[in-house]
Amino acid sequence: MRWRFHVLLAFVAYVNVRGAHGATDLTRQPNAYGPEVVEAVVNIIRESCLFADDRRFLRRLAYVESQDGTAPRTFQSGNYGGIWQVDEREFNETLHQPSLANKYQIIRNVMGIDWPSVTWQELRKPLYSGIAAALFTILKTGSTGVSWKSEEQGIFWSNNFHGGRPANNFTELANILDLGCRTNQQVDLVFVLDTSSSLSADDFTRSILFISQVVDGFDIAPNQTQVGVVTFSSGARVEFYLNSYSYKSSLKNAINGIRYVGGSTQTDVGINRALQQVFATVNGARPYAVKVMVVITDGQSDDSINTLHAAERAHAAGIVTFSVGVGHSIGVTELNNIATDPDCTHAYTVNTYEEIKFMKEEIQKATCIAPLFINQTYSCKLSECPPLAVITGPNGTTLETNITCGNMMVYHAVNNPYPSAAQHEVAVQTQQGSVTQHYFNYAGKTLYINMKDPTTAYSNCIATITPYTGDKTDHTIYYRCFRDGGEIPCPDLNCTEKWNFPNPCTSANLAAGLTKFPHPYQSNKFLMCDLSGKLYVVICPQGELFNADCSQCLGTGTLVSSNCNVPLPAAIGNPCTRENILAGKMFFEYPGDHHKFIHCDVWGKPWAQDCPPGQLWDQGLETCYQPSTYEPCLHHQPGQPYLYPHYCDPHQYIHCDENHQSFIQSCQLDYVFLASSQTCVIPGTYDTGNLVNTCNGATVPVVYTTTQRHYVSGGTASSGYYMP
């Protein structure tokens, strides 16, 4: 029998929409958890200026209260405190407080939340839980604010959050949390230092101490962080350029040798000198290094208008600018004008030596995650790509990306300086062998970009990104016609398909519940029957093919197995909720059996699947993996340590939760993890049982030995990790 039916011909613009996904915001997703979600919430709260001076208390509190939401009690029935575990009494105190009126306005204007109308049950959304913790902290600390010291934060936590728990519980957990970062491998850091008469000799000494302590947190080398200094008073002087010193010892000697001059305060001249001479390639500035400038002054320049214009030129050049106020008569308005927006996270004041000690960590952290502004092609190893930023043109900007192997996710945002899997406005997937383009119609706005390896398997692949002014995407529509599996010339655009093929929508198939069938010629389509027997041709999403076992479209890299069509036993429960599917959560661990996992289809139905023979499921990575002899979390028992050495990198460690899941954490700055003390420590010589190494393919962990300058595998310096 010959029969015909009609299909919809899909017209696809070649590359500008390939792999593109809409906005994702897990911070508003109930029961979302994990370090990325917590970091996203803290960034929103800080960047909105709701609680910019939290002194990292919010980040620590999330880890102390629920291990970033991974603790089993976090979302237990009847517990609505969320990741920050704000109980109902604490939450109620944050409502209808006159002293918080300006905070309510920020929450309403920036986040679109009417806080007095929020209920405790809504705190299961991470952003709501974080806001509640921030408001409660602001309420309890009053005008004094949160202390810089983690010990004093622990006392505050013990006295105000739930009550009765020892302060050292907070301090011990806070100390093992990642407080530094290793994101930006190359930073050009320039200090512009006020030496005018409006600063006292003590203020100048504090400034020198501040610069010296900030520098301590970076690896100084031509291929890592470079430092330059400009001083200004009645004029400006370059103390040294970015390429003047390649070793930290000689750099610090030069810093300590800077002399107090006195005179007037020509701040604009100092900033201009840094822009024109120190940030010049002839003097060591690198095209693809993150540019950071720290202006240290009392904010009382001779010409505030010229200072504003000089700062605007720095911002337009893509230089992330911090202002640090010193002295007893600080001009806050000028400090804010100098700083990159938002002022609340880029403008600081220093009054005591104690504040210098702790504030230098804020500058170090902010510098580590400062974006690299690009206006031409940029390439990086995927594991070392810094955050990026592009100032979009008047007609928008097109970004073109490619990768040498594997694939990567590229997250974009204009309202969030730190886009990630947890929160982004646009996500684009780029695969090996294809060039992906996406047009952003954001005239004159700063577009923030984060290129990430979604699996950790492609960290050595080279990612390339090129910005173009305007819409440069390929809008050509290409038509290809096929018959019997072979390509033929397209005679016309008639959307009627004809072939000799039996209609699968039979009464027998419908009675058996069979409604989806492979397309006879094209694997990126399938046939679907409705209950009346009508036949539809369905086109799979871009980059996916129909899998007959699973009766759905799957990405080419998606795990499948022969029992994909085995429904999940009803007793286990269905994790395939609408919220999880919208959040992109399609895979879950199979209770009681690490050799299986649960796969959700797009219609919310769960399927039990087997890992390939010999492999186990890892929920953190959402993939099956070949187990090794070093699996510290797999058989973890209550009472055992929760922290273990990383299998490869001495600067990282593995955090196990109560569900045997593993999370990779990083030590602060250049510290290394010490298993015996369960903390990160400064480089030194320690017991050789503290570090293990299987990163070179060893089947048996190899013990590290450590010295002051090397981390060595098996006693051979050439195979170790160099540390300055």
The series of mean pLDDT values per 10 residues for the chain, 724 residues long, is: 32 38 82 90 92 88 89 87 95 95 94 95 96 96 83 90 80 65 74 91 88 88 94 96 94 95 94 97 92 90 94 92 84 92 84 65 76 90 89 92 92 89 89 88 89 81 94 70 70 52 83 86 84 82 77 62 60 83 82 86 79 80 70 71 77 74 72 78 60 52 44 37 31
- What is the C-alpha radius of gyration for the chain, rounded to an integer number of angstroms? 29
**What per-residue confidence (pLDDT) applies to 642?**
78
CA–CA distance, 333 with 299 (Å, rounded to integer): 8
**What per-residue confidence (pLDDT) applies to 129?**
97
User: What's the chain's length in residues?
Assistant: 724
**What per-residue confidence (pLDDT) applies to 52?**
86
Query: Global pTM?
Result: 0.59
Q: Hey, what CATH topology would domain 187-370 get?
A: Rossmann fold (3.40.50)
Positive or negative CA dihedral for 36, 37, 40, 42?
Answer: negative
Residues 6+ away with beta carbon under 8 Å from 318: 291, 372, 373, 374, 375, 389, 391
**What per-residue confidence (pLDDT) applies to 246?**
93
- Written out in words, the top-level CATH class of the domain with range 373-469 is mainly beta
CA 620 from chain center: how many Å? 16
Is residue 532 exposed (0-12), middle (13-18) or buried (19+ Cβ within 10 Å)?
exposed
Residues 6+ away with beta carbon under 8 Å from 718: none
Domain ranges of the chain: 24-176, 187-370, 373-469, 643-722
Averaged confidence pLDDT in the chain: 81
Give the DSSP H/E element, type plus range, for residue 692. strand 692-693
Q: What is the 3-state secondary structure (H, E, C) of 490-551?
A: CCCCCCEEEECCCCCCCHHHHHCCCCEEECCCCCCEEEEECCCCCEEEEECCCCEEEECCCC
Q: What is the 3-state secondary structure (H, E, C) of 184-212?
A: CCCEEEEEEEECCCCCCHHHHHHHHHHHH
**What per-residue confidence (pLDDT) applies to 481?**
67
DSSP state letter for 147: -
The per-residue pLDDT for range 136-170, each reduced to its tens digit, is: 999 999 888 888 778 889 999 999 987 667 888 88
